[in-house]
A and B are shown apart, each in its own frame.
Chain A
């Protein structure tokens, strides 16, 4: 069963197309990730799906309810953890949850037990009566995730759930996300620009760039599309070497970039000597060469022709409507 279904969803801001005709679906119980550089349109998509922005064109359904025609039904079915913290720091953690519970119409008994439940899920029971302004960044995130789960949402949206957190806290947050997906059966839609995060958490991934989806597939399939191993090398005459290597049948794909070449191969360790031999016979000096398992970075590179970092630099230069400055980090 499809929990999220979009059909040519589009959003324009004063001539700039932030989200361009995207269509995808998310199945019940899965963790689906939108992976893309900053400014690719991830947050705008989430804002449309959570009824905060009206789509310019196209439609979407959440748990069978249309996001424009049945907004209240949609809101009842979703939990959201925004990219920017959305807590009232003058209230305690418990009070923030109480606020949320009442906004979603939970009755007294349910409120009490549920607040304790979600707090223990993110290990914040002992911080229940502490003002949120005294929380650390990681604790705030955990509280927000707990809050997103309060009203038993069918689907939970997480917009960059670990942005700006240290490595240890990120690990912990990943575990919480995995735990609630398993224990509560919550469908999860998350966006991230961290490859390792998408890799660790997601069942399926959509790669998004410039507001369009480039590919949607499982993590394993996406990695396989690049090759079992990836060899990265740089040398004195890349054009010549690439031309020669293209004749070799054991290389599944070759991509030449500004300062390096990537090759998708089987059993990469054994292929390094072969490549060096070929280079030497052509009088090409190899500057560096390495072999590794493919990451989602390679996948991104494969589908967009650029690394995520390059893409982010380019996106920052693109004009963004003034009111979104500092928001869509």
Chain B
């Protein structure tokens, strides 16, 4: 790769950082919203008893971290649509920089922002007394966080390339992302029970978010029962990530202004 490509990736990353730091409302809402979930769900469900869960807050924390990274990264992918509507995308596309570098720059920028948010939530949960595992577990957690971020940026890019405006985005959030998040074991465990209206324990295996949340939980928290061993989750998440990034790059490079 030529050095101009690295410069381009760097400046695209820098632009996202600057925009993130300057956008106070985004900064606040991206931290406050997960905290609402953490405190309100954490307080409400703490009194309920789940067979597999010892401490509900420790159970919930990885789910909230995953959610924060997911939303933030998706937003980055979708924000290509902003650039499209504001015309800035033309400025990017007419530059002598490969489409590949443009995607890498945006993905790295979005992933960095998402990881910063993820770490802030992580620190807050630590402050609330959640017990986390050792160095290896923490490293594995980072890997999961990065993969979640990349996957979500890729997914956002797919949507942004296929959509012309923001109306479709709300639809996808409500009809796709929210149900998948609820079925991911982020907020409550997915276990078999005859009283359930739908077989949650089976559906979750078709849900990529489930592997992300399950893997993050398995690597971050000591002594929680997870459905899969973290390394199996890692494998699935890695495959999903590669597919999503591939699709995102493909659709983005095909889009014309």
Residues on A lying within 8 angstroms of B by beta carbon are 47, 50-54, 72-73, 75-76, 78, 80, 82, 84-91, 95, 98-100, 102-105, 147, 323
> CB within 8 A of B256: which of A53, A90, A147?
A53
Do B11 and A52 have beta carbons less than 8 Å apart?
A: no
With A53-B256, A95-B18, A105-B4 known as contacts, the answer to whether A86 contacts B11 (CB < 8 A) is no
What is the chain A residue whose CB lies nearest that of B256?
A: A53
How distant is A19 from chain B, measured CB to nearest CB, in Å? 15
Which one of B2, B23, B91, B92 has the greatest number of beta carbons of chain A within 10 Å? B91
Do B11 and A98 have beta carbons less than 8 Å apart?
A: yes
What is the chain B residue whose CB lies nearest that of A131?
A: B22
What is the chain A residue whose CB lies nearest that of B164?
A: A323
Pick 19 A–B contacts, CB within 8 A, sort by A. Answer: A47-B257, A52-B90, A53-B256, A53-B257, A54-B256, A84-B87, A86-B87, A86-B91, A88-B15, A90-B19, A90-B23, A95-B18, A99-B11, A102-B8, A102-B10, A103-B8, A103-B97, A105-B4, A105-B7
How distant is A325 from chain B, measured CB to nearest CB, in Å? 10
How distant is B79 from chain A, measured CB to nearest CB, in Å? 11
Do A103 and B92 have beta carbons less than 8 Å apart?
A: yes
How distant is A134 from chain B, measured CB to nearest CB, in Å? 13
Do B94 and A50 have beta carbons less than 8 Å apart?
A: yes
B95 contacts the other chain (Cβ, under 8 Å)? yes
Do B15 and A99 have beta carbons less than 8 Å apart?
A: yes
Cα(A75)–Cα(B11), bound, Å: 18
Which one of B2, B10, B18, B98 has the greatest number of beta carbons of chain A within 10 Å? B18
How distant is B251 from chain A, measured CB to nearest CB, in Å? 16
Cα(A76)–Cα(B93), bound, Å: 12
Do B8 and A90 have beta carbons less than 8 Å apart?
A: no
> CB within 8 A of B95: which of A53, A89, A103, A323?
A103
Do A91 and B11 have beta carbons less than 8 Å apart?
A: no
List, in ascending order, chain B residues with CB within 8 A of A78's CB: 94
Residues on B lying within 8 angstroms of A by beta carbon are 2-4, 7-8, 10-11, 15, 18-19, 22-23, 86-98, 164, 256-257
List, in ascending order, chain A residues with CB within 8 A of B19's CB: 88, 90-91
List, in ascending order, chain B residues with CB within 8 A of A82's CB: 87, 90-91
List, in ascending order, chain B residues with CB within 8 A of A89's CB: 86
List, in ascending order, chain A residues with CB within 8 A of B96's CB: 72-73, 75-76, 103-105
> CB within 8 A of A88: which of B2, B88, B98?
B88
**Chain B, interface SS category:** helix
List, in ascending order, chain A residues with CB within 8 A of B11's CB: 98-99, 102-103
What is the chain A residue whose CB lies nearest that of B5?
A: A105
In the complex, besides A72-B98, A90-B23, 11 extra interface pairs with C-beta distance below 8 angstroms are A47-B257, A51-B94, A82-B91, A87-B91, A88-B15, A89-B86, A91-B19, A99-B11, A100-B91, A103-B92, A105-B7
Which one of B15, B23, B89 has the greatest number of beta carbons of chain A within 10 Å? B15
List, in ascending order, chain B residues with CB within 8 A of A95's CB: 15, 18
Cα(A73)–Cα(B96), bound, Å: 7
What is the chain B residue whose CB lies nearest that of A81?
A: B91
Cα(A2)–Cα(B90), bound, Å: 26
Cα(A54)–Cα(B256), bound, Å: 9
Do B3 and A105 have beta carbons less than 8 Å apart?
A: yes
List, in ascending order, chain A residues with CB within 8 A of B23's CB: 90
How distant is A142 from chain B, measured CB to nearest CB, in Å? 16
> CB within 8 A of B90: which of A73, A86, A98, A100?
A86
List, in ascending order, chain A residues with CB within 8 A of B86's CB: 85-86, 88-89
List, in ascending order, chain A residues with CB within 8 A of B93's CB: 52
How distant is A294 from chain B, measured CB to nearest CB, in Å? 36
Cα(A86)–Cα(B91), bound, Å: 6
List, in ascending order, chain A residues with CB within 8 A of B92's CB: 103
How distant is A302 from chain B, measured CB to nearest CB, in Å? 35
What is the chain A residue whose CB lies nearest that of B2?
A: A105
List, in ascending order, chain A residues with CB within 8 A of B97's CB: 103
